Amino acid sequence: MISIEKSLKTYPNHPTRAFLLELEDVLGKNGLNALLRIAGLQVWIDTYPAENFERDVDLSEVSSLNAALDEIYGSKGSHALARRASKATFDLTWKQHSALENQQAADFDSLPAQARNKEGLTIFAEVLSAASDLECEVQEENNTILFRVQNCPVCWGRESSSPTCQGFVGLLEGSLQWLSSDKSFEVTEKECSAAGGDACTFSITEEPVE
Ligand SMILES: [Zn+2]
């Protein structure tokens, strides 16, 4: 069983719930229950976190879930699952967060892609940071947008030989798709706290993927 010490840092209920429901969709109820047992999260079997933005989830619970995915499915299968499920959580939860709800994607339409992505991700970074104990910021370096996360919920308390936060990559992919009216941008984790980095840092390509 995975055992990661409590972080005493929090993440909101609704995105965690949506992530579990997406996994349930793919793995089935029994598959998800097995995952929750290995993650040490039996308490969530049949009782997922509530459908609200209160912060009852500890970062270590999200990271235990991701660690259990790795343990059962291997990093390749696990990363694909986590990325897909977290991409869906953007649409199902964050997009409806009050701070983003009024921010129509169309407001960004007049901007060039890079400016739109930078501005939109900066707003998302502020919303995420305000709604959880994540500390997110957006920078631009040599025309590349970088999204940096301290207290990453995917890898909190974990160690890995290489970047492991595909569960966060999916979230950014979901937000970019919303910002750019369904175009896709490639998101790559350049630096990961679990692999010795100062933060989890994700780079976003300047041009959309065909
Ligand atoms: Zn991470």
Q: Report pLDDT digits (tens) over 140-150.
A: 999 899 999 99
SS3 (DSSP) at 31: helix
Centre of ligand 1 from the C-alpha of residue 47, in Å: 26
Residues with C-beta atoms within 5 A of ion ligand 1: 152, 154-155, 165, 200
Q: Report pLDDT digits (tens) over 18-31.
A: 999 999 999 999 99
Low-confidence ranges of the chain (pLDDT < 50): none
Q: Report pLDDT digits (tens) over 103-112.
A: 666 667 788 8
| Single pTM value for the model | 0.95
Question: For residue 65, what are the β-bridge partners?
Answer: none
The closest of 66, 56, 64, 45 to 12, measured between CA atoms, is 56
The closest of 102, 105, 127, 130 to 116, measured between CA atoms, is 105
Centre of ligand 1 from the C-alpha of residue 4, in Å: 14
